[in-house]
A and B are shown apart, each in its own frame.
Chain A
Amino acid sequence: MNRTATVIFAILLVSGFCMLLFLTSGYHGAQGNADNPYLAAGAAETGAVNLVTGIYLNYRLYDSLFELLVFSMAVLGVRFYLNADESQKPSVVRIAESPVVRIAADLLFGPIVMIGLYLIVFGHLSPGGGFSGGAVGGTGLLLCAAALGAEVVARRFHEQIIEQIEWGILLVILLFAIVPVLFGYTPLTDLLPPGQVGTLLSGGTIPIYNVLIGVKVFIGTWVVIYSFIHHRGEI
């Protein structure tokens, strides 16, 4: 169909859909602590001060596991389709970097990785968590790759071992969450006690999951970025 018909159809479709959404979205979630079960018993049962982390790593752990699986599949797909034929490599010479990028990477790489580690380890006490911390760490590594060159960073990072570490961590997470169920334990509170709310070692198994997920997301992000860079030569 020609262009005017497409535009009119698009306007009708979008306005109809939006009208439908407006008419049916009257939901306002539960407020206060009287009728919200998470707020009432969350801190005592999970042991985490940050209730959001407490929910997605304790009450809804298996949702997070499946999301991690989806992430792994997407990273695997990117890795497979972009490096399918290693034989044809275009020869792109390394573009000379300006000293601004180099100096900024020198100054900023340490703090960025430190912030990422803080977000991962303290995920149950302040805003953060495994996903955020892993993404921030990936950004730091990206800055390093922009300054030094991706091939240098990949060689330092032992690219072959990184993939095995990533799949190994996924296996550890899955075993950690599924195997205790087979033996009759609940895998969340029976393995480690909740501990004192507010300290670092509280929260049961939540810090362990945070660290594992953080490392997994970090490596996954780096693999995606490196595949994009490697597909056509340097930045």
Chain B
Amino acid sequence: MTSRTVLLLLLPVLAIFSLSQRRRLTAVMGMGLFSLVLAATYLFSHAPDVAITETAIGAALVTFTYVLAIRKTGRLVVVCDEAPRLVSREGGKIVGLEEEILAGFARELGLDLVVRIVPRDDVSAVLGRGEADIGGGGIIGEVRDKAELATVGFLPSALYRVSGGRMSDVKHRMEEEYFEDTLEAIRERRPVSVTLDLARFLAASRLNLSGYNVERVEGEFSYCFLVSSDQPELLSQLNAYLERLTKSNEMERLIGRCMS
């Protein structure tokens, strides 16, 4: 059991470990470690030239290049799912009410605003992992996990439950993750069962909803933002900013402009 065999056996373990991570930073670090073990393997395979080159390139430069590409210093990262009128993508830009609010907030903090579109159920997971700062995209404040921090509501909303559709095409049942998939499913009359907030429901009601049951959920709801739980001062800053907007009637103006 030479040392070369031990190192060689360690390589697939490291590769599987680092390529199955959810967080991109951990995967990059894992591949850097893999590169170092690979360089040691080259040394034990009587190739010192290759070992020096692999150490300098793989462990140092490749890792640094990846970290430069995925860093989030100086950025305010917002994860959301698309919600028409609130945050939606047109061409290369993001437009909407939430985007305007958050752009002003980022300008005040002196950071760049970066919006990342993820599936609706992944928003809380990404916030919990610490990969993003703020979660948005039509989040209803009363319907969420208690573990996340939410700001004050800035716009009243309602919840609608859409379900049904013809159950005969069961083999076309796809997992719906983004809101676009839900719209496509409604367009093609596939069975859906989702709970939509007001902005998304308004966009969906432009399509033909005749084959579906629509019921309105009772209660008072309002839109809010989520903040990842290891940044409580960001939460208080965002709350202060939202209250300032509401008090100075700036919020009314923005709502009137974006939701008309």
Chain A directly contacts chain B within the complex, with at least one CB pair under 8 Å: yes
Interface, chain A (partner B; CB < 8 A): 2-3, 50, 52-53, 90, 92-93, 95, 119, 127-129, 131-132, 135-136, 138-139, 142, 221, 224-225, 228-229, 232-235
Q: Closest 9 interchain pairs by CB?
A: A127-B48, A135-B56, A92-B74, A228-B68, A132-B53, A127-B49, A132-B52, A139-B60, A136-B56
Q: What CA separation (Å) do A135 and B51 show in the bound complex?
A: 13
Partner of A142, one of B61, B69, B112, B175: B61
Q: Is there contact, CB below 8 Å, between B52 and A228?
A: no
Mask: chain B, 53-88; 1 = CB below 8 Å from A; 0 = not: 100110011001100110101100000000000000
Given contacts A92-B74, A93-B110, A235-B73, contact A229 B68 (CB under 8 A): yes
Count CB-based A-B contacts (< 8 Å). Answer: 59
Interface, chain B (partner A; CB < 8 A): 48-49, 51-53, 56-57, 60-61, 64-65, 68-69, 71, 73-74, 110, 112, 174-175
For A134, give the chain B residue with the smallest CB separation: B56
> What is the predominant secondary structure among interface residues of chain B facing chain A?
helix
Q: Is there contact, CB below 8 Å, between B49 and A132?
A: yes
Q: Provide the residues of chain B in CB contact with A142, threshold 8 Å.
A: 60-61, 64
Given contacts A2-B174, A90-B112, A92-B74, contact A119 B52 (CB under 8 A): yes
Q: Is there contact, CB below 8 Å, between B61 and A221?
A: yes
Q: What CA separation (Å) do A64 and B71 show in the bound complex?
A: 34
List 9 interface pairs A-B (beta carbons < 8 Å), by A numbering: A2-B175, A52-B49, A95-B73, A127-B51, A127-B52, A128-B52, A136-B52, A225-B61, A233-B74
Q: What CA separation (Å) do A2 and B110 show in the bound complex?
A: 43
Q: Is there contact, CB below 8 Å, between A131 and B53?
A: yes
Q: Which of B48, B65, B74, B112 has the most CB of A within 10 A?
A: B74
For B171, give the chain A residue with the smallest CB separation: A2
Given contacts A50-B49, A92-B112, A235-B73, contact A132 B68 (CB under 8 A): no
Q: Is there contact, CB below 8 Å, between B53 and A135?
A: yes
For A137, give the chain B residue with the smallest CB separation: B56
Q: Is there contact, CB below 8 Å, between A235 and B53?
A: no
Q: Is there contact, CB below 8 Å, between B57 and A135?
A: yes
Q: Provide the residues of chain A in CB contact with B57, threshold 8 Å.
A: 135
Q: Is there contact, CB below 8 Å, between A235 and B68?
A: yes
Q: Provide the residues of chain A in CB contact with B51, threshold 8 Å.
A: 127
Report the minimum CB–CB distance from B73 to chain A (whole Å).
6
Report the minimum CB–CB distance from B136 to chain A (whole Å).
21
Q: What CA separation (Å) do A228 and B62 show in the bound complex?
A: 12
Q: What CA separation (Å) do A214 and B138 show in the bound complex?
A: 55
Q: What CA separation (Å) do A119 and B57 show in the bound complex?
A: 14
Q: What CA separation (Å) do A95 and B75 show in the bound complex?
A: 12
Q: Provide the residues of chain A in CB contact with B64, threshold 8 Å.
A: 142, 225
Q: What CA separation (Å) do A233 and B71 show in the bound complex?
A: 11
Q: What CA separation (Å) do A219 and B52 show in the bound complex?
A: 19
Q: Provide the residues of chain A in CB contact with B174, threshold 8 Å.
A: 2
Q: Is there contact, CB below 8 Å, between B56 and A132?
A: yes
Q: Provide the residues of chain A in CB contact with B60, threshold 8 Å.
A: 139, 142
